């Protein structure tokens, strides 16, 4: 099978200068409202006899966000091509502006088959942000933009890049040192996110719950301080994980319960133990409450939450964060069949609580409740779950941000901060008593659907019942898990949403700045 494009970042000292840097493409940023070109733009313009400023004055490139223009070096610059990337209005600029610009540049480089890229985007920002954070944002962005999913395309695209070499360049040694620290963690996170995108993009005939469990075992073998426990159907029965068993009962592929544990020893003492719990439905047909045919193929991505958890454990272990982190991933395939669970069934879940099933398509919460109860039994202080849980969340927030619910204001704030740091946006939503009341059943402890309205909130209120005394937050990533079409900065398909967000949260918690 074809490998994904191997994106590699380094930080290099620009000798003799940035304008002379040798590469297939040099990437330079530009703000919409900059009165005059900055030093680098000026130098390049001078070498090119005013070609850049002419491009600007003709209005062919206005430096709006996501706009790009290419100027050819004509042997006068070190690079064959200069890619100008628009950064929009300076006062609106954030680290995500830089991250996106790097992604756009990497995506263009792949499209143009430019193997070596000199990245000088950060120069446009001056000292607005610290260099380490800029390095991290650029590295995350370059990995994100350089990603595409084509492992099953047999017809070789002529000259498709196997690798992309991105060199972040600067002429100041102190800045280079700072940039390097950021580029190193940004690369770890970027590689983890691309890993997540590939796993999520793989179809349901390739990844079923046993295959996902095998992948998790393989992942753990390659990481220090990570162990992986997998429960098969027999063990799920012995443990009483009724939720996972019920959802998995209609499929020929058995369900699995995956529990990764990262524990770096004494370094993590006195730090809270965090559980990440991710929904991994390898295909969600809806089960007996079957979904309409339209877009059902996208339900191969219903494992995205669980995969974001696996990839975050990879990033956390590779950064050697001083924290204990569980990665808990219940996995099942939700299929209709003679042995499926049915509307009306009453299921005893791992926590002991009983659930009346009124819709088999509300299966995410049925597996997550066992995952949450497992995290509680492991005495985790903080539990964060992540799931493509409800269409209702997409109705509420669209495709731009994830719903964020929880029972602890501080944890919510920490996740909002992580969203700012990572560029993966969240929006707070309620999940309190009113919603919990809707989830009460007359013949069991709970039912698995509420009324017609507020479906994202009732789903979260259901999950809340399984979190014990832990601080808990819930991320509903339905909608943000996928790019239905390619954008300037992203390939079509899985987004890997959550990997940067959760990594940023855990880095902040561990006190790792970059
Ligand atoms: N996996 C879906 C949610 C989903 C929908 C994710 C669209 C991404 C895009 C989930 O299992 C589901 O089917 N939820 C139901 C819940 C309902 C039956 C209460 C839904 O949202 O319709
Ligand atoms: Zn469903
Ligand atoms: Zn689902």
**Ligand 1 pocket test target in 361, 387, 438, 459 with most atoms within 8 Å of CB:** 361
The verdict on the CB of residue 272 being under 6 Å from ligand 1 is: no
User: Catalytic pick from 256, 279, 365, 471?
Assistant: 365
* 335-341: average pLDDT: 98
Assign 487 to helix, strand or coil. Answer: coil
Element (H, E) at 475: strand 471-476
- Two tokens, residue 105: 């540049």
pLDDT for 155: 76
The set of residues, in sequence order, having a beta carbon less than 8 Å from that of 250 and lying 6+ positions away, is: 287, 288, 333, 334, 335, 336, 337, 339, 340, 341
Backbone angles phi, psi at 49, to 5 degrees: 55, 40
Q: Nearest bound ligand to CA 296?
A: 1
pLDDT in tens, 152-191: 998 766 778 999 999 999 999 999 999 999 999 999 999 9
Using the mean position of ligand 2's atoms as its centre, give its distance from the Cα of residue 363 in Å: 5
- Beta pairing, strands 163-170 & 346-348: unpaired
How far is residue 96 from each of residues 100, 271, 378, 424, measured CA to CA in Å?
A: 6, 29, 36, 9
The set of residues, in sequence order, having a beta carbon less than 8 Å from that of 365 and lying 6+ positions away, is: 389, 448, 459, 462, 463
pLDDT for 54: 95
Using the mean position of ligand 1's atoms as its centre, give its distance from the Cα of residue 465 in Å: 20
* 374-387: average pLDDT: 98
* 15-24: average pLDDT: 93
Is 81 considered catalytic here?
A: no
Peptide bond between residue 217 and the one before it cis (omega within 30 degrees of 0): no
Protein residue with least CA distance to atom 22, ligand 1: 391
pLDDT in tens, 389-438: 999 999 999 999 999 999 999 999 999 999 999 999 999 999 999 999 99
Alpha-carbon gap, residue 214 to 218, rounded angstroms: 6
- Among 314, 84, 114, smallest CA distance to 195 is for 314
b/e sequence 122-141, b meaning 16+ C-beta within 10 Å: bbbbeeebbbbbbbbbbbbb
Which residues lie across from 25 on neighbouring strands? Answer: 81, 117
- Among 459, 236, 229, smallest CA distance to 347 is for 236
pLDDT band at 15 (very low <50, low <70, confident <90, very high): confident
Using the mean position of ligand 2's atoms as its centre, give its distance from the Cα of residue 264 in Å: 36
The verdict on the CB of residue 449 being under 6 Å from ligand 1 is: yes
The set of residues, in sequence order, having a beta carbon less than 8 Å from that of 79 and lying 6+ positions away, is: 21, 22, 23, 24, 25, 26, 73, 118
Q: Percent helix, strand and coil across the chain, each rounded to 5?
A: 40, 20, 40
Which residues lie across from 275 on neighbouring strands? Answer: 326, 383
User: Catalytic pick from 291, 320, 342, 512?
Assistant: 291
Using the mean position of ligand 1's atoms as its centre, give its distance from the Cα of residue 411 in Å: 26
**Ligand 1 pocket test target in 200, 478, 481, 482 with most atoms within 8 Å of CB:** 478
- Two tokens, residue 416: 């909002």
Q: What is the DSSP letter of 2?
A: P
Element (H, E) at 114: none
| Largest separation between any pair of C-alpha atoms in the chain | 80
Q: What is the DSSP letter of 361?
A: T
For residue 496, how many C-alpha atoms fall within 13 Å in the half-sphere facing its CB? Answer: 31
pTM (predicted TM-score): 0.98
The verdict on the CB of residue 402 being under 6 Å from ligand 1 is: no
Backbone angles phi, psi at 45, to 5 degrees: -60, -40
Assign 281 to helix, strand or coil. Answer: strand
- Among 481, 498, 477, 499, smallest CA distance to 490 is for 481
* 235-248: average pLDDT: 99
How far is residue 71 from each of residues 33, 45, 88, measured CA to CA in Å?
A: 21, 10, 19
For residue 51, how many C-alpha atoms fall within 13 Å in the half-sphere facing its CB? Answer: 16
Angle (nearest 5°) at CA 156 between 155 and 162: 150
**What is the overall mean pLDDT for the chain?**
97
Backbone angles phi, psi at 419, to 5 degrees: -65, -40
Alpha-carbon gap, residue 392 to 180, rounded angstroms: 42
Protein residue with least CA distance to atom 8, ligand 1: 478
- Two tokens, residue 7: 């994106």
pLDDT in tens, 88-107: 999 999 999 999 999 999 99
Would the CA dihedral through 380, 384, 390, 395 be positive or negative?
positive
Alpha-carbon gap, residue 198 to 194, rounded angstroms: 6
* 352-356: average pLDDT: 99
Is 291 considered catalytic here?
A: yes
Nearest-atom number in ligand 1 for the CA of 334 is: 11
Name the H helices within 262-399: 304-318, 364-377, 391-397
Nearest-atom number in ligand 1 for the CA of 455 is: 19
Q: Nearest bound ligand to CA 448?
A: 1
Name the H helices within 95-208: 95-112, 131-145, 173-201
b/e sequence 230-242, b meaning 16+ C-beta within 10 Å: bbebeebeebebb
The pLDDT > 70 percentage for the chain reads 99
**Ligand 1 pocket test target in 287, 362, 392, 435 with most atoms within 8 Å of CB:** 362
Q: Nearest bound ligand to CA 393?
A: 1
pLDDT for 513: 84
Peptide bond between residue 498 and the one before it cis (omega within 30 degrees of 0): no
Using the mean position of ligand 3's atoms as its centre, give its distance from the Cα of residue 302 in Å: 5
Using the mean position of ligand 2's atoms as its centre, give its distance from the Cα of residue 294 in Å: 14
Angle (nearest 5°) at CA 280 between 277 and 286: 125
Alpha-carbon gap, residue 195 to 299, rounded angstroms: 19
- Two tokens, residue 453: 């309205």
Using the mean position of ligand 2's atoms as its centre, give its distance from the Cα of residue 280 in Å: 11
Which residues lie across from 84 on neighbouring strands? Answer: 28, 69
Is the pLDDT confidence value at 299 over 90?
A: yes
pLDDT for 164: 98
């Amino acid at each position: 099978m074809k490998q994904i494009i191997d994106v590699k970042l380094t930080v290099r000292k620009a000798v003799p200068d940035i304008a002379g840097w040798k590469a297939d493409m040099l990437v330079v940023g530009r703000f919409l409202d900059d009165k005059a070109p900055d030093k680098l733009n000026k130098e390049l313009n001078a070498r090119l006899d005013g070609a850049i400023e002419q491009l600007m004055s003709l209005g062919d490139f206005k430096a709006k966000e996501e706009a790009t223009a290419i100027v050819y070096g004509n042997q006068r610059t070190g690079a064959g091509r200069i890619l100008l990337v628009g950064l929009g209005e300076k006062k609106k600029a954030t680290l995500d502006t830089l991250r996106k610009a790097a992604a756009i540049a990497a995506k263009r480089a792949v499209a143009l088959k430019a193997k070596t890229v000199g990245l000088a985007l950060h120069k446009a920002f001056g000292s607005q942000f610290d260099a380490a954070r800029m390095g991290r944002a650029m590295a995350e962005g370059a990995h994100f933009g350089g990603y595409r999913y084509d492992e099953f395309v047999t017809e070789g695209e002529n000259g498709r890049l196997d690798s992309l070499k991105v060199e972040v360049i600067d002429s100041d040694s102190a800045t280079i040192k700072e940039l390097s620290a950021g580029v190193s963690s940004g690369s770890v996170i970027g590689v983890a996110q691309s890993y997540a995108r590939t796993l999520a993009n793989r179809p349901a005939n390739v990844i079923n719950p046993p295959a996902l469990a095998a992948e998790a075992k393989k992942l753990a073998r390659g990481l220090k301080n990570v162990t992986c426990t997998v429960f098969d159907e027999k063990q799920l029965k012995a443990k009483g994980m009724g939720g996972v068993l019920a959802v998995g009962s209609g499929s020929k592929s058995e369900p699995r319960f995956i529990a990764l544990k990262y524990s770096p020893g004494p370094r993590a003492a006195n730090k809270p133990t965090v559980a990440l719990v991710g929904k991994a439905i390898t295909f969600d047909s809806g089960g007996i409450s079957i979904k309409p045919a339209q877009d059902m193929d996208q339900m191969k991505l219903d494992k995205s939450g669980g995969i974001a958890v696996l990839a975050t454990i990879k990033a956390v272990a590779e950064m050697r964060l001083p924290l204990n982190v569980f990665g808990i991933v219940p996995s099942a395939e939700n299929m209709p069949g003679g042995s499926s669970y049915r509307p009306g069934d009453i299921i005893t879940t791992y926590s002991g609580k009983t659930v009346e099933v009124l819709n088999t398509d509300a299966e995410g919460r049925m597996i997550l409740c066992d995952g949450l109860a497992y995290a509680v039994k492991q005495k985790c202080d903080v539990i964060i779950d992540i799931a493509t849980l409800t269409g209702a969340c997409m109705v509420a927030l669209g495709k731009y941000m994830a719903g964020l619910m929880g029972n602890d204001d501080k944890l919510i704030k920490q996740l909002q901060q992580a969203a700012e740091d990572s560029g993966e946006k969240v929006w707070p939503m309620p999940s309190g008593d009113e919603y919990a009341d809707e989830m009460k059943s007359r013949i069991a402890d709970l039912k698995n659907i509420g009324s017609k309205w507020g479906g994202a909130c009732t789903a979260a209120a259901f999950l809340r019942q399984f979190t014990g005394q832990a601080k808990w937050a819930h991320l509903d990533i339905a909608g943000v898990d996928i790019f239905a079409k390619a954008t300037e900065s992203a390939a079509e398909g899985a987004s890997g949403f959550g990997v940067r967000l959760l990594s940023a949260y855990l880095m902040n918690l561990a006190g790792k700045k970059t």
